[in-house]
Amino acid sequence: MNSPSVSPSSHSLHTLYQQHHHWLVQLLRRKLGNIEQATDLAQDTFVRIIAANQYQEIREPRAYLTTVSSRLIAHHFRRHALEQAYLDALASHPEITSPSPETVALVVEALAAISRVLDGLPRPYA
């Protein structure tokens, strides 16, 4: 029986988290090879689900969690590749012209935003 302070939607979210969080962390750990990243991306997956406010409608929780987390993994690796390319480009410049850590962070964030926008554009047909 639900307690009066717990709404049905928060109960279903709690149940989803309780029943599948450990499984998701293990899945992500196998994919990433790093428990800390796996834990972070599992949390990000649940945050994304909460933001979408669709957790009451999930019929196949593990399939849904896998899809959301796979997209986050792709975003993670894309962002890492962009950041590494930018840092490699910076390394080829003299140290005197190197930007501050704050500027580097802002540029990496801007590159990630541009990448998300470009990913959202329709693909040209060949």
Span 66-96, pLDDT tens digits: 999 999 998 888 888 888 888 888 888 776 6
Q: Which two tokens stand for residue 126?
A: 């060949």
Asked whether the beta carbons of 31 and 73 are under 8 A apart, the reply is: yes
Instruction: Tell me which residues of the chain have a pLDDT lower than 70.
Output: 1-11, 55, 95-96, 123-126
Nearest C-alpha neighbor of 40 from the set 6, 5, 79, 9: 79
